[in-house]
Amino acid sequence: MITTEPDALRSSFVPPVPTTFEDLRISQALVQDLVLRRLLLEGFSNLQTLSQKLRLSIPIIDATFRSLRAQQLVEVRGMVGNDYSFQLSQAGKNLASDRFQVSQYAGACPVSLKDYHAAVKAQAARVQIDRRTLRSAFSDLVITDRMLDQLGPALISQTSIFIYGPTGNGKTSLAERMLRVYQDAVLIPYAVEVDGQVISLFDPVVHHRIELEDPEIDPRWVLCKRPCIVVGGELIPSMLELRLDDSTGIYAAPLQMKANNGIFIIDDFGRQLMSPRDLLNRWIVPLDRRVDYLTLRYGVKFQIPFELMVVFSTNLDPADLADEAFLRRIHNKIFVEAVDASSFDQIFHRVVAARNIPCEPDSAEYLRKLCLRDGRTELRACYPNDICNILMAIGKYENRPPRMTKADLERAAALYFARS
């Protein structure tokens, strides 16, 4: 396994903490709206709390507070140490309610689109691997040197990969483990501002935060592991576009934007509700030029970076899914073939050891014969694990430990394989 040293858990992009609106590159009006909405939600607050909730420095919060106070939109209730305790005036409540109808966003201050572009470009992945380090990264899989030597250059290129071949041989497992070759972290903004609109980007479901606070870094950015997003048959066109929540007035970033600086895996490619051609046509420009275009509800179109590695995984024939023009843009095409007898036995012994199932010396060979019976011609990497799952279930059903006798293997195989 490739290990990550603590010193590596930092990004190559290090934005300083903004202390002025010029440094922030977000309009004072938008920050004022954030403060008004936050005060409306909380009732009363202070400079320190607003700084923490909105991820802004005290000087910027203080400047906003003084502006609101001058407009008689806030009232000071008192002092807590050196900090003001304040609440909205009636005029402030009225204005905050109006702004709340436009957008309910009251979280971390967004970053500018220009700063987001710069951050994604600065954090583009640069992978340094060879066969030894790659084998370490994929150590929990049985994988041949030939396969490693195909994966290595593809991962170093950081473009796009088409993984194809018969089902059950580990295409998805290979794709999901590609994230292990990264040994660094990236900064991801909570949100991005475009034309005064807020696009929520940080998603704790796909962005795994690294708890490493650095007071020298702009708190509007979250230090995370490089993202890996996996979608399958549930992928629909709307997931690749901005989505406006009409009830909150907040835009949600599309999947490819959330996957920037990481990996986007399209599993079971060709089995989505949207046709392969529609998906490929949507991404032919991003894959070629490394940029994508999104559109706000009212027609404003803007560019975002497309700095990610897209992995297409399928058991269908690539020629049936895409034309030559598109396949040309996917530079790396890796065929994952059925496993040979030696690899099958290695997988078998790993699975048996992990499940602590006692077996006979010739159990692997006997299972191979069962898998190739009734006209089946290929061994699949998934067979040992799937058969062992059935053996475990049989043991639980009969209220005994699982075992791997020839009779039990026959019984499991009869349950697993459909009769032709």
Query: What's the half-sphere exposure (Cβ side, CA atoms, 13 Å) at 390?
Result: 16
Phi/psi for 96 (5° steps) reads -60, -40
Tokens, residue 404? 């791997």
Out of 82-91, 139-148, 326-335, 342-351, pick the least confident.
326-335
What is the C-alpha separation between 189 and 192, in angstroms, rounded? 7
Task: Let me know: does 285 contact 291? Beta carbons within 8 Å.
Answer: yes
Task: Let me know: does 39 contact 3? Beta carbons within 8 Å.
Answer: no
Tokens, residue 244? 């406006």
Structure confidence at residue 1 (pLDDT): 41
Q: What is the mean pLDDT of residues 392-410?
A: 93
Q: What is the mean pLDDT of residues 66-71?
A: 96
Q: Where does the pLDDT of residue 11 fall: very low under 50, low under 70, confident under 90, or very high at 90 and above?
A: low
Helix (H) or strand (E) holding 251: strand 250-252
Helix (H) or strand (E) holding 222: strand 221-225
Question: Of 187, 47, 192, whose CA–CA distance to 107 is shortest?
Answer: 192
Structure confidence at residue 329 (pLDDT): 77
Phi/psi for 51 (5° steps) reads -60, -45
Q: What is the pLDDT of residues 223-262, one digit of tens each?
A: 999 999 999 888 988 999 999 999 999 999 999 999 999 9
CA distances from 306 to 39, 120, 185, 261, 290 (A): 37, 9, 18, 8, 5
Give percent of the chain above pLDDT 90. Answer: 75
In the chain the domains, ranked by start, together with CATH numbers, are: 27-107 (1.10.10.10), 116-335 (3.40.50.300), 341-416 (1.10.8)
Task: Let me know: does 8 contact 184? Beta carbons within 8 Å.
Answer: yes
Q: Where does the pLDDT of residue 283 fall: very low under 50, low under 70, confident under 90, or very high at 90 and above?
A: confident
Q: What is the pLDDT of residues 77-96, one digit of tens each?
A: 888 778 899 999 999 999 99
| pLDDT greater than 90 at residue 71 | yes
> Which residue is listed with tokens 């026959």?
410
Q: What is the pLDDT of residues 340-381, one digit of tens each?
A: 999 999 999 999 999 999 988 899 999 999 999 988 899 999
Q: Where does the pLDDT of residue 281 fall: very low under 50, low under 70, confident under 90, or very high at 90 and above?
A: confident
Length of the chain (residues): 420
The reported pTM is 0.88
Q: Where does the pLDDT of residue 13 fall: very low under 50, low under 70, confident under 90, or very high at 90 and above?
A: confident
Strands 291-295 and 301-305 turn out to be: antiparallel
Task: Let me know: does 379 contact 372? Beta carbons within 8 Å.
Answer: yes
HEC string for 149-216: HHHHHHHHHCCEEEEECCCCCCHHHHHHHHHHHCCCEEEEECEEEECCEEEECCCCCCCCECCCCCCC
What is the C-alpha separation between 61 and 55, in angstroms, rounded? 10
Tokens, residue 324? 């030559």
